[in-house]
A and B are shown apart, each in its own frame.
Chain A
């Protein structure tokens, strides 16, 4: 699965995007966040304030209980500040 990061989430993880093989137990966005946090210190730091992170599946906003099945791209980012 392709994972993309934006703004300070990207800076903390240290990459703009990465391909991750999902372990069997990872079914939802929340599962994926737990998995990513276990990868290394950078990921753990990026997802430390979990409530402050927003997520999109295939470029559509979703909540953390969303099912990852069928999704090609997941993006994590802070609350938006455009306009």
Chain B
């Protein structure tokens, strides 16, 4: 049976525990749950906030396409992705990926895969607002993120 991923793109914060509970409550077939939370760091005190711009509609569509790709590669029992947009202060949550499966490796790999692809393909852009009050600037994409995503291109599932 194919599972339906839960995809949310939202302004407000999320609760990782509540989202994890949604994938396990009342079930006895889930043996592993991997939850990844990406947070806004203050870059040694220099960052006041991140502002995340997104492409409404495409953000949800692209996250759904990635989730369906992951579901095709690994035997997951549940999958949730939440990505925030808007202004986010250091210490606050940005992104949540939760993968559940009967066994750990599928859950670990699916979460890792989704974070790699999310960074290079999901239409979100970060702007840094500096604590010094200097003019804000767009974060540049990292070549290392492309390399991380490329790792998966020639691989199929582990189980």
- Shortest B119–chain A CB gap in Å is 4
Q: What sequence of 0s and 1s flags, for each residue 61-83 of chain A, a beta carbon within 8 Å of any chain B beta carbon?
A: 10000000000000101111111
A6 & B55 in contact (Cβ 8 Å cutoff): yes
B125 & A4 in contact (Cβ 8 Å cutoff): no
Chain B interface category by residue count: 20 to 34
Chain A binder among B24-32, B70-78, B138-146, B151-159: B138-146
Q: Which residues of B contact A (CB under 8 A)?
A: 38, 52-55, 57-58, 61-62, 83, 94-95, 115, 118-127, 138-141
Contact pick for B119, options A7, A77, A78, A83, CB 8 Å:
A83
- Shortest A38–chain B CB gap in Å is 25
Most chain A C-beta atoms within 10 Å of own C-beta, residue among B58, B62, B122: B58
Interface residue A30 (Cβ < 8 Å from any Cβ of B): no
- B-contacting residues, A31-83, CB 8 Å: 56, 59-61, 75, 77-83
